[in-house]
Amino acid sequence: MSHSHSNLAARQHRAQLWRLWGWPLAMGLLSLVGLLTGLVFDGWGDVLSWIALAIPVLVMLWFGWLRRPGPEHRQR
């Protein structure tokens, strides 16, 4: 296997990992920021905490309950 082929395969593997884990990591990071700012800061930190903790909840609501399935998932 050539060096360029293995380099391409490694880049494709990293891209697949980011495609799979990118959004869950972002939601986890937002939750962590929300929890830490809520514990450590007052005033603006409370506002940031509410926003950072609300975003993952809103995303879960959208994809879990509110989003209608596309035509490929509807029963005939």
| Every domain of the chain and the residues it spans | 22-67
| pLDDT at 55 (0 to 100) | 96
Helix ranges (DSSP H) in the chain: 3-40, 44-61
* pLDDT confidence bin for 13, thresholds 50/70/90: confident
Nearest-Å Rg of the Cα atoms of the chain is 19
Higher pLDDT, 11 or 71: 11
Between CA 10 and CA 40 the distance in angstroms is 40
* pLDDT confidence bin for 50, thresholds 50/70/90: very high
pLDDT tens for residues 17-37?
Answer: 889 999 999 999 999 999 999
| pLDDT at 11 (0 to 100) | 87
